A and B are shown apart, each in its own frame.
Chain A
């Protein structure tokens, strides 16, 4: 659905996906002119950003699916008023977070302070998951050793097209200045945990 994350060295993440993002103004215009294939292309292209955002929060699967779908309904509703289609990834991430929060609050009506809690991939959840591929399992096992904040920084870092550090800071409610450094440290931790796997834990 989404293009695979093929990241080459050099240039910012935003630059690397400039061609993809440049298709959005045309797709938005065509969708408004009742071209359904253009709408589907928009959904395909931006699904990953929305799904990764809603997966950053600790919600039941059905709620995450609802938040995902209603985010695209919101997009369709606002299609004609989107001023800068190139900023759709960030707009959708923010909208997805808001939809997740709305659903979270509806569910927990009795506790008005209810707010989003970050998702946390833990070993118990991994034990239940059906993961055949060894590398996938090893990657997720390493991932599960990270804190919830580190996990979600990295999850959002895998979004294609990329969302900016500023948007990630808002999504995860953390200071902008700490996004880059914390992400770097989280990657180092993941790498270290993976290294243990690759060398049979004898490093």
Chain B
């Protein structure tokens, strides 16, 4: 393409067209930022797991004082995974089991933005810590609603 008589090869022509199209229909930065944000937002709501068992559920009112002394057992499920959770009575320990086993990592998120990564063993079990209102996420697969030991769940 250095002189008028040069006939561009297919490759040169395609590269030239690529550059021209990039000028004609550039990708807006806002769209790119939204694509980046998929990471922080954890994908779509499809990941959100449904609560299907709660040891507090039948008698939530009873737990006025039970909050600090009894563990809360929860089961969440979405299309990909089922997660059994025990929020231990010590106010901190979180025990869980992911079914089917396979995912290697779960994160425990707190309301103040702290994220703790916990390894899942070969049997799908994990043990971590999280006080107060927390949320569990299996990256790319499942996220729970916000939960707490005393049942004062928030959304």
Contacts and interface: CB of A to CB of B under 8 A. Distances in A.
Residue in A32, A76, A79, A126 whose Cβ sees the most chain B Cβ within 10 Å: A76
Size category of the binding interface on chain B: 35 or more
B19 to A, nearest CB: 7
A interface SS class: helix
B46 interface: yes
B15 to A, nearest CB: 5
Contact of A32 (B14, B24, B38, B140): B140
Interface in B1-40: 4, 7-11, 13-21, 23-25, 27-28, 30-32, 34-36, 38-40
Residue in B11, B14, B41, B140 whose Cβ sees the most chain A Cβ within 10 Å: B140
A114 B28 CA distance: 27
Contacts of B25: 51, 55
B95 interface: no
A95 to B, nearest CB: 13
A77 B47 contact: yes
Interface residues of A, number: 54
B139 interface: yes
B interface SS class: helix
A77 B44 contact: yes
A121 B24 contact: yes
Residue in A5, A9, A31, A55 whose Cβ sees the most chain B Cβ within 10 Å: A5
Contacts, number: 131
A87 interface: no
Interface in B102-155: 103-105, 107, 115, 117, 139-141
B88 to A, nearest CB: 25
B107 A7 contact: no
6 contacts: A1-B27, A7-B14, A69-B31, A73-B35, A73-B43, A74-B44
Interface of A: 1, 4-9, 31-34, 36, 39-40, 43, 47, 51-52, 55, 65, 68-69, 72-80, 121, 126, 129, 131, 133, 135-136, 139-140, 143, 154-155, 157-158, 160, 184, 187, 190-191, 194-195, 198-199
Interface of B: 4, 7-11, 13-21, 23-25, 27-28, 30-32, 34-36, 38-44, 46-47, 103-105, 107, 115, 117, 139-141
